[in-house]
Structure 1
Amino acid sequence: MTTENTSSIRRSSELTRFRLAPNPGPMSLAGTNSYLIAAPGSPGVVVVDPGPLDEGHLQELTRYGAVELILITHRHADHTAAAARFAELTGAPVRAADPAHCHGGDPLRDGEVLHAAGVEIRVLATPGHTSDSVCFHLPGDGARGAVLTGDTILGVGTTVLDYPDGTLGDYLGSLDRLENLGPATVLPAHGPVLPELDAVARAYREHRQGRLAQIRTALEALGEDAGPDAVTDVVYADVDASVRRAAELSVAAQLDYLRSGSR
């Protein structure tokens, strides 16, 4: 599949550029940000999340250097659909936390430090959005470093918990881990670049705590055994139909969190 797209590759930090993939939608927002990582003067690049299977998009990602390595933040198709084709096109291995999305490369390990395209890349397991979600910390990217956050933290709005694969307990732990990295630049897979990762992580946690409070109130009115559909009707009463299913998944994750005793 090839889709006409005039999006250019833009600078996002000292060590990264990105190209917006041509896959806008209710869940992907304006589209998936495919990142290129490279030190100044490096002949090679690392590509993170090649995105949808769009030949024009993939060809553009090869124009800024020889692709040495392809990394995946998590399993969703808007990040992985092009991975096998991009590996074929570039000869570079694809590495992801989930072996099912690796092509010619080993699964990523939490705490692993990669060196490619002249850059140090630290792998951080950040489950919650999905069980296989990872972030990539670039400690040398500017004075405060940068983190490619995938869908764990977005550039606009908040992320969906893909329950039961993604859980709120895991997600809150991942936010703690990201906050501890300090005011790094946030390089999300959807939406604009953000400053100060620690502040964004705190805001995300506050949002989740607010939702939990709303769900507790809803359960008081509906009964403790109320299901996700009924609770979503109350907590997300004005949600657009296109993202209703996503809201139900997040409510299910939060109900599971509360009913497991994590209050």
Structure 2
Amino acid sequence: MNTTLILVAEGVWQTPVASKTLPPYDHTHCYWIDTGQGFILIDTGDGVLGTQQLYEAYVALGKPPMQAVIMTHGHHDHVGGANWAYDQWRTPIWLNFKDWELLPEVLQSASYWQDLGTIRSKEFWGMELIDAPGHTPGQINLFLPKHRLLFAGDNLLGNSTSVITPPYGHLRTYLRTLDRLEQYDAQVVLPAHGDVITNPARYITLYRRHRAERLAQIRHALKAGPLSAQELAQELYPGTLQILGERMILSHLQYLVEEQEIILLEDGIHYRLIAP
């Protein structure tokens, strides 16, 4: 079996490339799509560990003409191979520029970038372009109607929930994106990390339930008195996840502030429930 090129549907392949990403993952899944007129690559990994795997996959495909490279969002473990991809194919590289600030500085000076935010038609090389913010301000997802495939970037992950952390992640926006993705009635979700998702509707329901449970845990903890994000993380996340957990707790606290359920105290650190 060629582990650099995995057929997931007719004309669609996955290449898992080693990437410096967040645990429990150590790979970013990149996807090749045969449009009938050329190929599109979705995401490129971090550009450090996985470019050889991408090249081997490209060779295994027969070195087809490349039409474009599309980045689902601006995090380094997705866009890091942009320079390599452009050097290989001299093809446009697309990103929603709402994620421009997330790009590593070395990539911001490149002239090959095209802004997905300027695309007025939802149809994009036979796929539907989906505005899917929340994990980042400019994340996009893609839906391939022919196979009912959803390329979900980091919005749906195969073996964990998505990481939503301020200032670029926003929980309320992310929950609205889950509603939008559910409407596509995808048969299969192809995530950027983890296993392929074959039961998308149930998976999205579990994602929502997880967020609701976390919000309930925070409300319950705050009944005992004001707490900081760090203190909540110590209570709700196991030891090795506390630093990341604190950042994720902040997105839930932001949500509860927006819902006018809690307030941030004058010290700028502690939160308390608003009395009913």
TM-score class normalised by the smaller sequence: 0.7 to 0.9
What TM-score does the superposition give when structure 2 sets the normalisation length? 0.81
Tell me how many residue pairs correspond in the alignment.
244
What are the Cα deviations for residues 159-216 of structure 1, in whole angstroms up to 9, with x where unaligned? 1102121111001000000111114310000011111322221111111001111111
Give the match for residue 257 of structure 1.
Answer: 255
CA distance in 2: counterparts of 1:262 and 1:84, whole angstroms = 45
Equivalent residue, structure 2, for 1:104 = 112
Equivalent residue for 1:47?
A: 41
Partner deviation per Cα, 1:1-52 (whole Å, 9 max, x = no partner): xxxxx8421012233111111226543603000110115xx36211001112
Indicate whether 1:34 and 2:35 are aligned: no
CA distance in 1, matches of 2:144, 2:24: 24
Letter paired with 2:235? V
Check the 8 A contact 1:10/1:18 in 2, yes or no. Answer: yes
Match for residue 3 of structure 1?
Answer: none
Q: Distance in 1 between matches of 2:86 and 2:225?
A: 51
Q: Counterparts of 1:164 and 1:105 in 2: how far apart (Å)?
A: 24
User: 2:161 matched to which residue of 1?
Assistant: 158
C-alpha distance in 2 between matches for 1:262 and 1:186:
34
Bigger mean CA offset, 74-83 vs 6-15 = 6-15
Distance 1:86 1:46 in 2: 11
Question: CA 1:245–1:130 in 2, change beyond 3 Å: closer, same or farther?
Answer: farther
TM-score scaled to structure 1, two decimals? 0.85
Which residue matches 1:136?
142
Q: Which residue of 2 aligns with 1:85?
A: 84
| Aligned pair partner of 1:168 in 168, 171, 180 | 171
Which structure has more relative contact order (CA 8 Å, sep 6+)? It is: 1
Tell me the C-alpha RMSD between the 2 structures. Answer: 2.1
* Structure number having the greater strand percentage: 2
Residue 58 (1) aligns with residue 54 (2): yes
Contact 2:17/2:51 (8 A) holds in 1? no
CA contact (8 A) 2:32 2:39 kept: yes
Asked which structure has the greater CA Rg, the reply is 2
Work out whether 1:188 is the aligned partner of 2:191. Answer: yes
Instruction: Tell me which stretches of 4 or more aligned residues in structure 1 moved more than 4 Å.
Output: none
The question of whether the paired residues in 1 share the 8 Å contact of 2:21 and 2:77 is answered with no
Look up the equivalent residue of 1:62 and give its one-letter code.
Answer: Y
Cα distance in 2 for partners of 1:86, 1:244 equals 36
Consecutive unaligned residues of structure 1, counting only runs of 5 or more, are 1-5
Closer/same/farther in 2, CA of residues 103 and 173 from structure 1, 3 Å limit: farther
Shift of 1:66: 2.0
**SS where residue 96 of structure 2 aligns?**
coil
